[in-house]
Amino acid sequence: MKHPSNEDWLSFLYEECSTEQLKSWDRHRQECPQCAQLVDQWRESQRILSKWELAPTFRRYRPAFRPHVWAIAAVALSLIHI
């Protein structure tokens, strides 16, 4: 029995192939416990990764607006010019 390659299974998982190819690999998966296990593991990984969110420290940096900092800076600048 010739097993589909890992690339084939990725195409299967992301449905990036023709419907006929999808059906063919699905039939193979139903008859081959080795490939069925592999696909199940990748599906589980796919499910976990789809729920993954970036930690707050990795989110896009957005500086907070701090009016008191600007007020202090304005007062300091005005004192320099006096």
Chain contacts with Zn ion (rule: CB under 5 A)? 3, 32, 35
**79 Cβ neighbours under 8 A, 6+ residues apart:** none
Q: Which is nearer to Zn ion, 12 or 35 (CB)?
A: 35
CB 19 → Zn ion: shortest distance, Å?
Answer: 20
15: left (phi over 0), alpha (psi -120 to 50) or beta: left
Residue 3 phi, psi dihedral angles, 5° rounding: -85, 145
Q: Which is nearer to Zn ion, 34 or 46 (CB)?
A: 34
Amino acid identity, position 43: R
Q: Count the residues in the chain.
A: 82
CB 43 → Zn ion: shortest distance, Å?
Answer: 15
CB 10 → Zn ion: shortest distance, Å?
Answer: 15
Q: Which is nearer to Zn ion, 7 or 53 (CB)?
A: 7
